Amino acid sequence: MQSEKYNLIFENIYCTDIIINFESDYKMNKKFDYIIVGQGIAGTVLAFSMIKEGLSVLVIDDKTLSSCSKVAAGNFNPVVFKRLVKSWMADELIPFSDKFYKEAEQFLGQEFYWKKEIVKIFAEENEKEFWLNKAKSEDMSHYLSKTITTDFFTAVVNNPIGCAFVTDAANLFVVKFLEDFRNYFNQQQILLDELFDFNLLIIEPNSVSYKEFSAKKIIFCEGYKISDNPYFNWIPFKPAKGEVLIVKIENLPTDKIINKGVYILPIGDDLFIVGTTYDWVNLNDIPTEKARKEISEKLSKVIKVPFEIIDQQAGVRPSVNDRRPVIGLHPESVSVGVFNGMGTKGVMLAPYFSKQFIDFLEHTVPLNKEVNIERFR
């Protein structure tokens, strides 16, 4: 079942995709609580969170634009491997995300979220000792396995020193998640598939209007394209281009994510996403030979068997200098907001902070200071 769904995505066959003609006789709703610009991870999660709260939304997104979300692996890793410490707010983010994505699956009647352990393959003996010591600590015992495994698929995987497992990890099939919700937004007549035109936005003290549509507020979730946004181009973003390979490897496990220099994520039918790279200079979605070579060489050190490169993809991550999301309202207009900067952990961060943002917008509950846009004023 899972492999069939991945095949449908990669072959770009969406039997349920419904394209709406807004010039038809159907009279689309003109008034909304919120207008959301961008349908990547941030925009999609925020839109669904608002719908769950009984709020009306209009999503504006040009599907042809580059989106890092479309090439994101969607891994939920609660551990920072370099120091073997918990990811920021992992104890809060992981259970909240588990509940959120399971609700999303039930809401749409689809599958795109799975719990998957991460296999950490050790490169040196001292890594094992460090791991075992950390696994005994109260702070990390929930996430790190307490034993070392030396027989993990040894016919296929280079594992002479051994490996251990990160538990309570997961994976979101990002491409399918975004496409399933796009279909839903289309069906509900709440999606404008077009490039947002800032010249058509009219901002009032307590409302906004765009073309014939109006709302209490407009929220921008454009990823790294926010650098072109006249309202938020002053935020100190530090975007980074990342590239991944889609490869075919036989006899690797399909229920684990392997990590050693690169991550190897199963997507069905012996296909795997392998990545990633970081480039802070060439900010585009054009795959490069340099990245292809870099990922291939790292993959060759992890597995013993040949692999076939099926595809290569690139996207730009919307990261901020302090590696925290940027959430809040424009300092000069409470009708304009931003929900952005999720970076490499967007699939973990977006659900929790979308709820917090809604509580802020609807009930004036204060935002976490570390994500509040006020920190840049």
**pLDDT band at residue 13, thresholds of 50, 70 and 90?**
very low
Q: Is residue 276 reached through a cis peptide bond, with omega within 30 degrees of 0 on the bond before it? A: yes
Which tokens hold the place of 369?
């200071």
Helices (H), the chain: 2-10, 41-52, 90-108, 125-136, 174-187, 289-302, 346-363
Give the long-range contacts of residues 140-144, CB within 8 A, separation 24 or more. 140/79, 140/84, 140/85, 140/86, 142/167, 142/168, 143/78, 143/79, 143/86, 143/90, 143/167, 143/168, 144/79, 144/84
The DSSP bridge partners found for residue 202 are 209
- In the predicted structure, residue 4 carries a pLDDT above the cut 90: no
pLDDT digits (tens, 9 = 90+) for 195-247: 999 999 999 999 999 999 999 999 999 998 898 999 999 999 988 899 999 99
In the chain, CATH 3.30.9.10 sits at 119-171+238-317
Please give the model's pTM, rounded to 2 decimal places.
Answer: 0.90
Residue 8 has pLDDT above 50, yes or no: no
- CATH 3.50.50.60 domain position(s) in the chain: 1-7+31-116+172-236+322-377
pLDDT in tens, 89-147: 999 999 999 999 999 999 999 999 999 999 999 999 999 999 999 999 999 999 999 99
Show the tokens assigned to 317. Answer: 């991550």
CATH topology of domain 1-7+31-116+172-236+322-377: FAD/NAD(P)-binding domain (3.50.50)
Dig out the tokens for 192 from the structure. Answer: 């404008």
CATH number of 119-171+238-317: 3.30.9.10
Q: Which pLDDT band, with edges at 50, 70 and 90, does 268 fall under?
A: confident
